[in-house]
Amino acid sequence: MLKRLLTASLILSVCLVQCNPSETAKSSDSKTVLLTGAAGFIGSNFLRYMFDKYPHYKFIVLDAMTYAGNMENIPDYIKNSERFEFVYDSVTNQEVVDVCMNKSDLVVHFAAESHVTRSLLNPRTFVDTDVMGTLTMLHSLVKHKNVQRFIHISTSEVYGTAETEPITEDHPLKPRSPYAAAKAGADRLVWSYCCTYNIPAVIIRPFNNYGPNQHLEKVIPRFITHAIKGLPLTVHGDGSAKRDWLHVSDTCEALDKVLHVDNFDAIKSQVINLGTGVSTSVHEIAQMIIKEFGLSENGLTHQEDRPGQVACHISSTDKAERLLGWKAKRNFKESLQGVIEWYKKNEGWWKRLEMMQWVPVQVDNNKVAKQ
């Protein structure tokens, strides 16, 4: 059943009594998977995917439940299962992280502040969670040798604007926002621990994810929900910014490959991009949604471009195909229709988030705009 929200002291006391690894017998096909930040968008989708695919696995979710965390993202059949444990705390809490790590065989570290615009408003929070939280996780990983694989979820934003196309894993890291810089710092921290301590880690850099349960601060759900309400779609700048859009289900399948690839030594300490190799501009997406809803071409408005905007992202897919045998399956236009249907059917879920879709930031000429 869903564990009550535990404080650090209570978790520690439970661990001392029940969670000594030497006293915990596991069948050969049973593993405990620690997912940080899995009440969020990608993490919750991955939890559902893994929970359904691996009936002998147990799952621990460690989440601080910031604005992007939502317990409604986790289905009741998971929350009510004996295979699920929820720990309400931050990845910066070393004691709690140690307890969770000590109980786990596999770890996927999703937890991060993850919105470019919010990082302009409060960059310190991004450094605290993304950098210091990752440092806390790594410190614990070094101490707990029971963890077989540690997957760090980085981001394509660490590359900045593409200098070469497609972007390979060797592309220079030139982050253009406090968010991207914090993620780059965490990314390189993991790499440094791979070099220093030989930890069983892999760094994954997903390109722009989209799909069900994504917060309205992101462009695709914001466009869709505005179209549902008959409101204009607001594009930052001229809409020419291009992104490699990856459906979250493809991401889940790729991460599954990372956790279960037979020859882990071949991917240990590696950096691997997850993308489709195809880019679509923000303006093109707006036009697709306008057409899907039968809206007027006048239903498109423009405002100042976001500070730190990345102009172009297209992922190289070579390394993921070679090391994981993975390639994205889903076509963007076809998958977008499914995402639109999800938001149409789940108004109760996204209506509660409408107040948080815009962030006031300073733009050029000392103006403040909601972005």
CA distance 101 to 344: 39
Question: What is the model's pLDDT at position 301?
Answer: 85
Number of alpha helices (DSSP H) and beta strands (DSSP E) in the chain: 14, 15
CA distance 279 to 258: 24
Closest to 152 (Cα-Cα) out of 174, 130, 172: 130
Bridge partner residues of 301 (DSSP): 234
User: In whole angstroms, how far apart are CA 18 and each of 3, 12, 15, 60, 349?
Assistant: 14, 10, 5, 15, 37
Question: What is the model's pLDDT at position 364?
Answer: 57
CA distance 286 to 139: 44
* Domain 8-280+291-370 bears CATH identifier 3.40.50.720: yes
165 CB-contact burial (10 Å; exposed 0-12 / middle 13-18 / buried 19+): middle
CA distance 94 to 139: 8
358 CB-contact burial (10 Å; exposed 0-12 / middle 13-18 / buried 19+): middle
Closest to 310 (Cα-Cα) out of 371, 242, 246, 357: 242
User: In whole angstroms, how far apart are CA 187 and each of 221, 250, 303, 352?
Assistant: 27, 22, 32, 33
DSSP-derived 3-state class of residue 151: strand
Contact 206, 248 (CB under 8 A): no
User: In whole angstroms, how far apart are CA 30 and each of 33, 56, 105, 178?
Assistant: 10, 5, 9, 40
Tens digit of each residue's pLDDT, the chain (371 residues): 444 344 443 443 334 333 443 333 344 589 999 999 999 999 999 999 999 999 999 999 999 998 789 999 999 999 999 999 999 999 999 999 999 999 999 999 999 986 667 667 778 888 999 999 999 999 999 999 999 999 999 999 999 999 999 999 999 999 998 899 999 999 999 999 999 999 999 999 999 999 999 999 899 999 999 999 999 999 988 889 999 999 999 999 999 999 999 999 999 999 999 999 999 999 999 999 999 999 987 778 888 777 777 888 999 999 999 999 999 999 999 999 999 999 999 999 988 888 766 555 555 555 544 54
Name the amino acid, one letter, at 125.
T
User: In whole angstroms, how far apart are CA 137 and each of 121, 200, 355, 370?
Assistant: 26, 13, 32, 34
pTM equals: 0.89
CA distance 177 to 116: 6
**Token digits of residue 244:** 């490699």
**What are the extents of the domains in the chain?**
8-280+291-370
Q: List all residues 6 or more positions away from 2 whose beta carbon is below 8 Å from its beta carbon.
A: 79, 80, 84, 86
